[in-house]
């Protein structure tokens, strides 16, 4: 029986897990949850995940886990045939972990601070403060990519799936200018060639469909 993943396709964290699963050839039983109808706050869902966040994983033995970064590390550690996406070398893994924490605490957090008021509270513009915050993120990532092909080295890791899903979503609200961020722009172009990128593309289109009408 395949692990079950509760999702909403437009979500960047959901897309990161889908990219990881596709990359390792893992089939998932995808269960869509409608956030606008608050299906993630039903008693049944809250019993499973009191934080009511997506994605939420239920493995075939009943093991429940949420947070996309933790889910990716778990799935790759359990189901991948090699450790390339989440290296066992302690220093290499520590750098991957640092990048995952950076996505969680800076990249994705900044994205939600900009877009949540638009999606759920009626705000209809990206103001200068939002633009400055986005450029702060872009500058960090540009620095991280100095001398590297991927976000934690010269090979793809699960940290890339988080950054790719978050940054492509960011780009829908605050354009990433190649002239200002050539390494970041090149990184996202390389990402489009990854075998698992298709899992990001479909959800990104849904994300853009939600966000674009809100931008005036």
Secondary structure (3-state) at 30: strand
Residue 30 backbone phi and psi in degrees, to 5 = -90, 125
Domain spanning 4-79: which CATH class is it, in words?
Answer: alpha beta
Could you report the per-residue pLDDT of 113-163, keeping only the tens digit for each?
998 888 888 787 889 999 999 999 999 999 999 999 999 999 999 999 999
Task: Extract the tokens encoding 156.
Answer: 């793809």
Residue 71: exposure state from Cβ atoms within 10 A (0-12, 13-18, ≥19): buried
Q: Can you give the pLDDT at residue 216?
A: 65
* Cα dist from 156 to 29, 53, 86, 179, 211, whole Å: 25, 26, 9, 25, 28
CATH architecture for segment(s) 90-214:
Up-down Bundle (1.20)
Could you report the per-residue pLDDT of 58-113, keeping only the tens digit for each?
999 999 999 999 999 999 999 999 999 999 999 999 999 999 999 999 999 999 99
Could you report the per-residue pLDDT of 200-215, keeping only the tens digit for each?
999 999 999 988 888 7
Task: Extract the tokens encoding 148.
Answer: 């590297």
Whether 104 sits among the annotated catalytic residues: the reply is: no
CB 21 within 8 A of CB 15: no
List the domain boundaries for the chain.
Answer: 4-79, 90-214
Q: Catalytic pick from 11, 162, 165, 169? A: 11
Secondary structure (3-state) at 56: strand
């Amino acid at each position: 029986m395949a692990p079950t993943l509760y999702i909403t396709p437009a979500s960047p964290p959901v897309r990161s897990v889908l990219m990881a699963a596709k990359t390792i050839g893992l089939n998932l039983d995808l269960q869509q949850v409608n956030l606008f109808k608050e299906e993630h706050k039903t008693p049944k869902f809250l019993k499973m995940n009191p934080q009511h966040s997506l994605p939420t994983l239920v493995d075939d033995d009943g093991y429940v886990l949420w947070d996309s970064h933790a889910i990716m590390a778990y799935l790759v550690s359990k189901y991948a045939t090699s450790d390339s996406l989440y290296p066992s070398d302690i220093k290499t893994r520590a750098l991957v972990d640092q990048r995952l924490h950076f996505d969680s605490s800076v990249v994705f957090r900044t994205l939600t601070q900009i877009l949540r008021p638009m999606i759920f509270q009626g705000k209809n513009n990206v103001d200068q403060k939002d633009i400055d915050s986005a450029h702060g993120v872009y500058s960090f990532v540009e620095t991280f990519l100095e001398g590297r092909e991927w976000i934690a080295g010269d090979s793809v890791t699960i940290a890339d799936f988080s950054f790719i899903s978050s940054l492509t979503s960011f780009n829908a609200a605050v354009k990433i200018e190649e002239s200002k961020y050539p390494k970041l722009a090149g990184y996202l172009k390389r990402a489009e060639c990854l075998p698992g990128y298709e899992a990001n593309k479909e959800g990104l289109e849904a994300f853009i469909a939600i966000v674009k009408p809100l931008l005036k």
